[in-house]
Chains A and B, each alone.
Chain A
Amino acid sequence: MKKYKQPSTIGRFGEFGGMYVSETLMPLLLDLDKSYKKIQKDKKFKKELNDLFKNYVGRPSSLHYAKNLSKYINGPKIYFKRDELNHTGAHKINNCLGQILLAKKMGKTRIIAETGAGQHGVATATVCALFGLPCYIYMGSKDIERQKPNVFRMKLLGATIIPVESGSKSLKDAMNEALRDWIKNVRDTFYIIGSTAGPHPYPKMVRDFQSVIGKEAREQILKVEKKLPDYLIACVGGGSNAMGLFYPFLNDKNVKIIGVEAAGKGAKTEETAATMTSGTPGILHGSYSYVLQDNDGQIKEAHSISAGLDYPGVGPEHSYLKDIKRVKYFGITDKEALEAFQTCSKLEGIIPALEPSHALAYLIKAFKNKHKNKVVILNLCGRGDKDLFTAAKAIGFDADE
């Protein structure tokens, strides 16, 4: 088998990806690409990042054998890669540390970011506090409403939150505004994108920083199972936790890989975020990839109960992996995710975020009484604290009482 080697030097994953931005941003992206290439060879940078991973984030995250859930499903042996144990409660911090170190190296003095669920916002605010840089977070007003605990967290960490009122008032629009901020403040500002989306070099860079997840998981599973897993499962919003887990396994032909998207009220309805199931190739946020769009190429609003998956686009590498059939993608509805959220909490004593609850739901649904003797690693990429109010409301529990 040919070794997986993506993207090309101009940021193409097959035909996907690229840099579709205005000339005000092009020079910045080229500069970023150059700087990123440089630090990839920098041993000191690697050491600094690894130290932070170990002592600040608490890496490596553990690989937990979810015995009760495995028994309940009566199928494969299920392992959770527990990136929800990371400092700040999700995988997002891995990427933020990498990018802020790079920002420092490039002499940037102001940090901006977009956030949906608030996890990336919290992670960015955290690293800004650690490195003493001013932090501006763009967040849709709809998301501010449904992710209140994270809004307060960001404020405590010293970040300024800029509510976004345009469009659907969620992640897509927050990203538009962050890009506009960057165009306006080209000289001093570093934009920390939170997922494997956006123009090159972001999809590659974010994947690389997140692939610590897959590298660890690979070592850990070889130690306990003495073999590679049969399946990997992760949820896909923009796709960073999924790429982080998948990337180090892409050359292992026998490892089957599954990405789970948020189907909202159903992949065939208008209220969905299942980009690869229901979308078509198009350009959003500087990258050519699957998007939810109408016949005129107008981007549609996405819908998901999970703010972190509520995005009408997806990282270009996922589009490529879908088209070459290396990864299979499926949709899970709000309702299914909410059920899995509860099942996991009760069975494993782990309250997952609503995002990985989508991956859990797929696992429960598709693997029930099947694939016995197989080994699965599921990326439990975030914890559910931030979702308690949303979930309580959806389940019909009065959390204020």
Chain B
Amino acid sequence: MQMNNLDSLPKKKILSLFMTCGFPTLNQSKKVFNEMLSHQPDIIEFGLPFSDPMADGPIIQEANKLALRSKLSTQQSLNLIKELSKSKNNTSFVIMCYLNTVRKFGLNKFIKNIKSIVDGIIIVDLPFEEEDEIKKLLSKNNIHLIKLISPMTDKKRSQKLLKNSKGFIYYISATGITGSNKLDYKEINKNVKSIKRMSSVPVLVGFGIKSKKDVIDISKKTNADGVIIGSALIQKYFDIKMDFNKYLKSLKKFIQEVKI
């Protein structure tokens, strides 16, 4: 069976970059992802745009909206990921999406499209209670189903959730939607430690990481193995008033900064 890049993540300071597929347009999106890939982050998360991204904050919502403006299809997003995988090297590819997208596309067809290309998948609104069928099929095809743990997940539930977990664990740093504000390092550290007692796969902290300082603080003040940055990457586009060439440059600068 083919290797899964997520099985050979580095031990510390893992960097995962999230970006919405087709943002701001399909063609520009290719350039954005190529820029990201050129920095060889440990993981790239490909967000599949959805009309009703319930767990996402205003910035990713806006990215979804822009991507869907030109009726971007699931197939187009998957084709984009496939094309980019040619220059994937050691970077792990992870898809982040909502369940309705997968269901409507057809689970088997979806897996066929991403097999040997994508290493992991996060289905935001698929709770552990509903995952059996999907998890089995994914595992047969060597794709890891990535688990989210929130500050509200208690110990008993975490234990169930983390059993046989693969790839990495996505710890949601703030009770909140993507792009939220506060980072409470004490709480993060406490919860990450508790997760690490139950599971041996890397724990990445996501939601609310915005700057080089945040990345360094997570690495210094907590036991986490790395970070996930999403909204902050997209925010840059709106910061420079949607000038695409400037955006690519500011993206480059930002990614260089957060690679610590």
The stretch of A13-21, A233-241, A344-352 in contact with B is A13-21
Tell me if B54 counts as interface (CB < 8 A to partner A).
yes
Q: Within residues 120 to 158 of chain B, which ones have a CB less than 8 A from any CB in chain A?
A: 124-130, 147-150, 152-154, 157
Query: A283–B99 contact, CB under 8 A?
Result: yes
Query: B103–A27 contact, CB under 8 A?
Result: no
Minimum CB–CB distance for A169 against chain B, Å? 13
Residues in chain B near residue A27, CB distance under 8 A: 150, 152-154, 157
Residues in chain B near residue A18, CB distance under 8 A: 130
Tell me if A254 counts as interface (CB < 8 A to partner B).
no
Query: B148–A23 contact, CB under 8 A?
Result: yes
Tell me if B100 counts as interface (CB < 8 A to partner A).
yes
Q: Interface 1/0s, chain A 314-338, versus B by CB < 8 A?
A: 0000000000000000000000000
Given contacts A27-B157, A183-B175, A282-B103, contact A299 B152 (CB under 8 A): no
Given contacts A24-B172, A166-B61, A180-B177, contact A282 B104 (CB under 8 A): yes
Tell me if B199 counts as interface (CB < 8 A to partner A).
no
Q: Interface 1/0s, chain A 270-301, versus B by CB < 8 A?
A: 00000000000011111000000101111100
Tell me if B187 counts as interface (CB < 8 A to partner A).
no
Given contacts A20-B125, A23-B127, contact A285 B54 (CB under 8 A): yes
Given contacts A24-B175, A298-B50, contact A19 B98 (CB under 8 A): no
Q: Which residue of B lies closest to A172 (CB)?
A: B52
Tell me if A49 counts as interface (CB < 8 A to partner B).
no
Complex Cα–Cα for A22 and B126 (A) = 7
Given contacts A183-B176, A284-B52, contact A21 B127 (CB under 8 A): yes
Residues in chain B near residue A52, CB distance under 8 A: none
Query: B150–A176 contact, CB under 8 A?
Result: no
Tell me if B90 counts as interface (CB < 8 A to partner A).
no
Minimum CB–CB distance for B53 against chain A, Å? 8
Q: Which residue of B lies closest to A166 (CB)?
A: B61
Interface centre among B124, B127, B161 (most CB of A within 10 A): B127
Q: Which of A22, A296, A297, A298 contacts B55 (CB 8 A)?
A: A22
Query: B99–A20 contact, CB under 8 A?
Result: yes
The prevalent SS among residues of A at the interface is loop
Interface centre among B57, B99, B104 (most CB of A within 10 A): B104
Minimum CB–CB distance for A185 against chain B, Å? 8
Minimum CB–CB distance for B151 against chain A, Å? 8
Q: Within residues 29 to 78 of chain B, which ones have a CB less than 8 A from any CB in chain A?
A: 50-52, 54-55, 57, 61, 65, 68, 73-74
Q: Which residue of B lies closest to A282 (CB)?
A: B100
Tell me if A167 counts as interface (CB < 8 A to partner B).
yes
Q: Which residue of B lies closest to A186 (CB)?
A: B175
Tell me if B105 counts as interface (CB < 8 A to partner A).
yes
Complex Cα–Cα for A183 and B148 (A) = 14
Residues in chain B near residue A286, CB distance under 8 A: 54, 125
Q: Which residue of B lies closest to A30 (CB)?
A: B157
Residues in chain B near residue A26, CB distance under 8 A: 127-129, 152-153, 157
Given contacts A183-B176, A187-B175, contact A22 B103 (CB under 8 A): no
Query: A298–B68 contact, CB under 8 A?
Result: yes
Residues in chain B near residue A167, CB distance under 8 A: 51-52
Complex Cα–Cα for A286 and B104 (A) = 15
Complex Cα–Cα for A286 and B99 (A) = 10
Q: Which residue of A lies closest to B180 (CB)?
A: A184
Query: B127–A19 contact, CB under 8 A?
Result: yes
Residues in chain A near residue B98, CB distance under 8 A: 283
Residues in chain B near residue A197, CB distance under 8 A: none
Complex Cα–Cα for A298 and B130 (A) = 21
Tell me if A101 counts as interface (CB < 8 A to partner B).
no
Q: Which residue of B lies closest to A179 (CB)?
A: B54
Residues in chain B near residue A21, CB distance under 8 A: 54-55, 125, 127
Tell me if B85 counts as interface (CB < 8 A to partner A).
no
Q: Which residue of A lies closest to B74 (CB)?
A: A296
Tell me if B101 counts as interface (CB < 8 A to partner A).
yes
Q: Within residues 166 to 206 of chain A, which ones have a CB less than 8 A from any CB in chain B?
A: 166-167, 172, 176, 179-180, 183-187
Residues in chain A near residue B148, CB distance under 8 A: 22-24
B-side residues, CB < 8 A to A, are 50-52, 54-55, 57, 61, 65, 68, 73-74, 98-101, 103-105, 124-130, 147-150, 152-154, 157, 161, 172, 175-177, 180
24 pairs, CB–CB < 8 Å, chain A vs chain B: A10-B129, A18-B130, A20-B127, A21-B55, A22-B148, A24-B55, A27-B152, A180-B57, A180-B177, A183-B55, A183-B175, A185-B175, A186-B175, A282-B103, A283-B99, A283-B103, A284-B100, A293-B104, A295-B73, A297-B50, A297-B74, A297-B103, A298-B68, A299-B52
Further 18 A-B residue pairs, CB within 8 A, beyond A24-B152, A297-B50? A19-B127, A19-B130, A20-B126, A21-B54, A21-B125, A27-B157, A166-B61, A180-B177, A183-B177, A184-B175, A282-B104, A284-B52, A285-B54, A286-B54, A296-B104, A297-B103, A298-B51, A298-B68
A-side residues, CB < 8 A to B, are 10, 18-24, 26-28, 166-167, 172, 176, 179-180, 183-187, 282-286, 293, 295-299
In the complex, the 3 A-B pairs of residues with the closest C-beta atoms, listed nearest first = A297-B104, A22-B55, A298-B51
